[in-house]
Copies of this chain bind each other. A is one copy, B any other.
């Protein structure tokens, strides 16, 4: 389905500017992609630093009056700041990352991962889509915005925070944001580290699930016991762990922990209708998941289940003898690792409390339990009628000449820290598509989409400044 919209003169101007600068833009991106900024591999630490330095210099060249490399106990981040002269204009913070996943030719790449090549209008390189390409479209985007509006500074107060440890789990990100909260202050956060539904279906993601994780270890006898001598007469902690997991969901696949759904922001009829509009092929989705059936909370579609419903999943379970053959023991202990995906309205601290209470109640006599919760991530959700979200939708719609639809993200990420520490809503502007191969061999970005990203931001800052003004 193609929907043409009349091309206005602003659009013509932006497209002409982008076309004119396209070659130089791609040359620069290729230069950056050559730097193997793999944060997970210590011997690439100098490359991650080189990548930060390169980006800061490029952002100054782009026109940002301030572009700094920010140190952390790990890899450095880059911060850039371009104030605007309109005191009523909003401040926007763009988030992305300049580190990349590990990659080696022998993993199955058709070309060297750090020697970018263009084939069939696709740019192949580690980081092309995740996330250097998506960070980089902001540079040409803001230039196009200025050139086509005759401005010398963006229509919004524009800030960028490009971290260097996202692919290593962002271990120092929260502390960095807390420490630099004053300089990062913004009215909205725009995350350019996600994707859209499909090449012909531009989408805006309106929320991410949060995450609470725990390990529950149940201790039975102080030693493994012979199942012949003691079997059938003392509680078995592996059985107890299994019964705990089995009790976690009811027959409708709803989580049974009392209070788990308290406060959950339910999908509105409008949001459910918008999800249903997406061209979702469940059979295809199952093939992607290499799974053989859908299964989940009764009364919800698959997309609702992965995007907008809280879950409890077993990530790992273990106890007793797991080697070849047999060992007839009652194991001394057994454990399960659970993760709870959370949606707006759920607080990880509350979830920890109610899960602990529930587990203690389930554990049978003679079994002792030990529960450890890891650091949690909060959910984030931006209402459909938020003015910044409306601006992103309009800008994307103009760039793509298509109606923009809405998705959510089932995973969890550092964006939630920005929302929480800065108190600003989080929006997602990503132009990657599922076939881009994040974390896989032959990662690529579609050049046409990359330039639509440039174009989107060329429209976005003006639209935002026009429709979302601070009270004077």
> What is the interface of chain A, defined by CB distance below 8 A to chain B?
209, 211, 213, 215, 220-223, 225-236, 238-239, 241-249, 286, 289-297, 302, 305-306, 309-311, 313-322, 325-331, 334-337, 339, 341, 364-368, 374, 409-412
Contact = CB atoms under 8 A, between A and B. Distances in A.
A236 B313 contact: yes
Contacts of A221: 289-292
B341 A315 contact: no
B319 A320 contact: no
A211 B228 contact: yes
A433 B402 CA distance: 84
A231 B322 CA distance: 25
A238 B322 CA distance: 14
B242 A246 contact: yes
B238 A306 contact: no
B318 A374 contact: no
A315 B331 contact: yes
B229 A326 contact: no
A374 B327 CA distance: 11
A328 B410 CA distance: 12
B235 A295 contact: yes
Given A238-B316, A317-B320, A320-B315, A292 B368 contact: yes
B410 A229 contact: yes
Contact of A295 (B226, B297, B302, B365): B365
A241 B230 CA distance: 23
Nearest to A227: B313
A231 B320 contact: no
Contact of A293 (B215, B234, B321): B234
Contacts of A411: 226, 228-229
A225 B311 CA distance: 15
Given A232-B310, A316-B320, 9 more contacts: A227-B341, A228-B410, A229-B306, A230-B410, A231-B306, A234-B296, A242-B336, A292-B366, A318-B319
Contacts of A339: 227, 231, 326, 328
A293 B365 contact: yes
A2 to B, nearest CB: 29
A289 B330 CA distance: 11
Contacts of A337: 320-322, 326-327
Contacts of A248: 239
Given A232-B341, A315-B320, A317-B318, A293 B227 contact: no
A311 to B, nearest CB: 3
Contact of A232 (B222, B290, B297): B297
B321 A319 contact: no
A315 B293 contact: no
A9 to B, nearest CB: 41
Contacts of A317: 238, 241-242, 317-320, 322, 334
Nearest to A232: B311
A302 to B, nearest CB: 5
A300 B319 CA distance: 28
Contacts of A231: 306, 311, 313, 339, 341, 410
A205 B235 CA distance: 25
6 contacts: A215-B326, A222-B291, A227-B339, A230-B291, A292-B368, A317-B320
Given A233-B305, A326-B213, A291 B238 contact: no
Contact of A412 (B228, B316, B341, B364): B228
Nearest to A332: B290
A316 B321 contact: yes
Nearest to A303: B233
Contacts of A335: 322
Nearest to A222: B290
B306 A329 contact: no
Contacts of A305: 232-233
A240 B325 CA distance: 22
Contacts of A241: 242, 317
A364 B374 CA distance: 31
Contacts of A225: 289-291
A17 to B, nearest CB: 37
Contacts of A314: 236, 238-239, 242, 319-320, 331, 334
A249 to B, nearest CB: 7
